[in-house]
Amino acid sequence: MKWDFIDEYEAWAFKLSLGLIVVFFVAVVGLAALKGIDVPTCVTEFKPFEKGELVQLGPKEYQLKLLARMWSFEPREIVIPAGAKVTVYTTSLDVQHGFEIEGKAVNLMTIPGAVNKAEIVFKRPGEYRIVCNEFCGIGHQTMYGIIKVLPEEEYEKWREGSR
Ligand code: CUA
């Protein structure tokens, strides 16, 4: 194609920009396809709920129904053993909130009337804070939760004690 309607250098800059867009597009789409990364969407197989709870599904498998509302998460604190795989379903009772776990690659919206899902494995013991990362009103900064991941032995002791 002839590019004589603009300056020669301008044409090169334009072609370079165009080329980079193609390179980035191919890189993003290609990597996503290669690694099986999907664009997050709301799940339809799970109905919105009005009570937050942690349910144990197997020895190290949990389902967390995390409810966001102005201005707290329910449940506020959960305790799980190291190595636990947690499937989180999250929704909101009022406005749109954010759901982020510090130190984990999880960042979802909590949307009234819809449910979002994430699967997270907690290999390392420690305290992981759940924070709302969407400004949701006057108490936004008080909106957090804690996931306590205990080493296996400590977890067993805790479980005995909490019965
Ligand atoms: Cu909920 Cu910010």
Domains in the chain: boundaries? 1-37, 41-162
Mean local confidence (pLDDT), 48-56: 95
Residue 86: pLDDT above 80? yes
| Rounded distance between C-alpha atoms, residue 124 and residue 82, angstroms | 6
In this predicted structure, what is the pLDDT of residue 44?
84
- How many angstroms separate the alpha carbon of residue 66 from the centre of ligand 1? 13
Is the model's pLDDT at 132 over the cut of 70?
A: yes
Cα(104) to ligand 1 centroid in Å equals: 18
pLDDT digits (tens, 9 = 90+) for 140-153: 999 999 999 999 99
Q: What is the mean pLDDT of the chain?
A: 93
State the pTM of this model: 0.75
- pLDDT tops 90 at residue 162: no
Q: What is the dihedral of CA 158, 67, 48, 135, to 10 degrees?
A: -150
Alpha-carbon distance 95 to 18, whole Å?
Answer: 40
Fold entry, domain 41-162: Immunoglobulin-like (2.60.40)
Nearest CA to ligand 1 atom 1: 97
- 122-124-125-129 Cα dihedral, nearest 10 degrees: -60
Q: How far is the CA of 114 from the centre of ligand 1 (A)?
A: 16
